[in-house]
Amino acid sequence: MRSSEAAGLAPGSTIGIIGGGQLGRMLALAAAQLGYRCHIFDPHEAPCAAEVAAIFTRGSFDDSGAIAAFAAACDVVTFEFENLPAAPLEALGHKMRPAVRSLTVTQDRAVEKRFLDEAGVRIAPWAAVDDREALDAAIERLGLPLLLKTRRFGYDGKGQAWVRAPEEAAAAWAAIGQRPAVAEKGMDFSAEYSVIVARTADGHCSAWPVSRNIHEGGILRRSEIPPGAPIDAQVSQAVEIAALLAERLGHVGVMTVEYFACADGPVVNEIAPRVHNSGHWTIEGAATSQFEQHVRAICGLPLRDTRLVGQAVVMDNLIGDDVGQWDALVADPNARVHFYNKGEARPGRKMGHVTRVR
């Protein structure tokens, strides 16, 4: 590294980002403001992060040689996407922030749930389902309804199927491709929210104000800050849990914990070991964005203030065709608009977002 660990990485240093989607794009923009150069590693031809970064390497996530050469050209390496093969990253050692453990624990729902159980936090009752018989046993033990989720490679509600009656079990097992899965008891909750924290290598942790998250078809539609009742009453406990989980993972950088607001308190749904869609509002709505804070944490700079800068913030995702309203959105004086320039506006694809601070 170019400067001492205590002083942090000097401007002009290079941050490697594995994954070239919109999260990588917004990380690269924040890093550029602090004088860092970003090097994107992604298998696609023209990922949307590459056009705002200094360097782009096209390579496969499982190509150890390509990952090693990429990392050798960077001062620190991070990721914006958790479904990465861990083996090529093990060799990066301390250059990797967060460390590989944050990935390996959170990229497999069964491993993640064992980690959460060991940490003593509340999650939906669950069972590992490796075959059709195990699904029947899970139905017997957990009751119905339950939600079957593939252990790996699920996102935005993909790889999930509800089982509401015993006769739906076969169809649900087929719908998730008969892959190793977990079955979760269907939870009764009144709202969903997320806590985003940043943690430094020396253990300082800070959280942003909490957002209420509204999903549609498994995809985040809107985040609202402050979250209001009944979430407000659970916030301090949820923030404590998120800080504890970051500590137990030894996580360095930004980490997100998603919750269900149940009548008797917070229930953890899942952990994302990275910046998160429900934190996009922090770019204009907080004193420091999640992207800048992640860059600070991984580069060894001090964390900054995370307070809300207005009374309230609403962030709306632009999904698929929504982006067609771009001309009205850029003309709206209250809208802070972000387009990711991802090309084709396929249904369900996150094309941009709009933040309104009041």
Annotate each residue in 216-235 with x if it binds ligand AMP (CB under 6 A) or - if it does not, as one string: --x-----------------
Residue number, 132 or 158, with CB nearest to ligand AMP = 158
Q: Are the beta carbons of 54 and 114 closer than 8 angstroms?
A: no
Written as one string, the DSSP assignment of 178-242 is: T-SEEEEEPP--SEEEEEEEEE-TT--EEEPPPEEEEEETTEEEEEEES--TTTGGGHHHHHHHH
Selected range binding ligand AMP among 49-57, 183-191, 198-206, 347-355, rule: CB under 6 A: 183-191
Q: For residues 26 and 226, give the distance between their C-alpha atoms in angstroms, rounded to a whole number.
A: 23
Residue number, 8 or 273, with CB nearest to ligand AMP = 273
Please select the residue that binds ligand AMP; options are 98, 154, 279, 285, rule is CB under 6 A. Answer: 154
Count interface residues toward ligand AMP (CB under 6 A): 13
Q: Is 215 in the site for ligand AMP (CB under 6 A)?
A: yes
* Residues 6+ positions from 240 with CB-CB distance below 8 Å: none
Please select the residue that binds ligand AMP; options are 26, 30, 99, 147, rule is CB under 6 A. Answer: 147
Please select the residue that binds ligand AMP; options are 223, 269, 289, 293, rule is CB under 6 A. Answer: 269
> Which residues is 181 bridged to in the sheet?
129, 150
| The two structure tokens encoding residue 345 | 């506006």
Annotate each residue in 120-139 with x if it binds ligand AMP (CB under 6 A) or - if it does not, as one string: ----x---------------
Antiparallel, parallel or unpaired: β 313-319 and 219-225: antiparallel
Least distance to ligand AMP, CB of residue 112, Å:
10
Please select the residue that binds ligand AMP; options are 85, 157, 230, 320, rule is CB under 6 A. Answer: 157
Q: For residues 5 and 94, give the distance between their C-alpha atoms in angstroms, rounded to a whole number.
A: 11
Annotate each residue in 65-84 with x if it binds ligand AMP (CB under 6 A) or - if it does not, as one string: --------------------
Element (H, E) at 295: helix 290-299
